[in-house]
Amino acid sequence: MALTDDQIVSSAVFAGNSDYVLPGGAEFTLKAVNASFTDNGAASDWLPAVVLISDSQHVIARALDQGVKVTAGQSAEVSFFPGVKHAATASTGTALSWAFMAQTVNPFADTGGFEVDIDLDTASFLTSDAGTYATGVSGGHHGIQINAQGTYLVTTGAEAFPAAAPAAGSILKVAVDNFGAVNFVSPIEISPYYAIGGGSFQGNCAQTYLIEVGVIANPVGTVALLQAGQNTGGNVDLSVGLTVVMLGTSIP
């Protein structure tokens, strides 16, 4: 038997609900519904809905979606049809927890090119998560103490201004370090100095390193330090920063 497609309409305005009762002899499959919902003083938010009720007054189905909620005072025109899928709400993500420390050392003497631990300024300590980070001391130098197991990204940055023209081929170094922890020491970033005009020179370098905290070499409570070195043959005005960011609580 061929199906025939029909439309049924009501322009009347109903308070609360609009009911269509199938008349005698009628039988059909409902394919789509459209309706206007006008808020006229609703006391709460509401869900636009189509409720299918049998002739014995039992609910066959309710077509509504908790994700399609209309705020009290707002109105809506709503279409109901099979197959509607709403995109998932975009996640705002979880904020990463981090800590930062810095220091200025002026004068920072020639280290012979070897890197040495820098005692970071505890007053510069900043963090988004005091439960995970604190200032700590390792080998007599202050750094960022990590108090939770996880995988962390550690970044260092250094900037240096020689007091005089640096010796030819001299360098600035920076690295991540932890006193006594073998697998905590990052590769060393090395930068030459360059002229910035007016007879002045500058060196810049940075290092990023991934560490795991909660392993034997780097137990919870380990302290991230920053190392720097220079061999200009004189003093430099050194500024450094150390940032630790937790990437996750698991250890790969």
Partner 1 sequence: MAQPLTVALPPGVTLWDGCTVRVAAINPTTGNIVSGVNISNVTFDIDRVDDGSGVDLTSGSFHPILIPSSSA
CB–CB of 77/36 below 8 Å? Answer: yes
CA–CA gap between residue 173 and residue 193 (Å, rounded): 11
Q: Which is nearer to partner 1, 30 or 167 (CB)?
A: 30
Q: Tell me which residue of 151, 146, 139, 135 sits closest to 103, measured CA to CA.
A: 135
Closer to partner 1 by Cβ: residue 66 or 94 = 66
CB-based contact 167:231 (threshold 8 Å): yes
43-51, 172-180, 187-195, 232-240 -> range binding partner 1 (CB under 8 A)? 43-51
Binding residue for partner 1 (CB under 8 A) from 13, 87, 90, 95? 13
Cβ at position 83, least distance to partner 1 in Å: 7
Site for partner 1 in 191-250 (CB under 8 A): none
| Paired tokens of 13 | 């305005």
Pick out residues in 143-172 that bind partner 1 (CB under 8 A): none
Nearest distance from residue 88's CB to partner 1, in Å? 15
- Shorter beta-carbon distance to partner 1: residue 81 or 114: 81
Q: From the CB of 57, what's the least distance to partner 1, in Å?
A: 8
Cβ contact 131:147 at 8 Å: yes
Which residue is associated with the tokens 């970044």? 155
What part of residues 76-105 is at the interface with partner 1 (CB under 8 A)?
76-86
Residue 106 interacts with partner 1 (CB under 8 A): yes or no: no
Candidate list 29, 89, 92, 94; residue touching partner 1; CB under 8 A: 29
Between CA 97 and CA 104 the distance in angstroms is: 25
**Touching partner 1, residues 46-75 (CB under 8 A):** 46-55, 60-66, 68-70, 74-75
By the 8 A CB rule, do 192 and 170 touch? yes
- Identify which range of 15-23, 114-122, 171-179, 196-204 contacts partner 1 by CB under 8 A: 15-23
In the complex, what is the shortest distance from the CB of residue 91 to partner 1, in angstroms, rounded to a whole number? 22
Q: Quick one: which of 157, 158, 150 has its CA closest to 97?
A: 150
- Looking only at the bridges linking them, the beta strands covering 133-138 and 141-146 are antiparallel
Identify residue 236 by its one-letter amino acid code: V
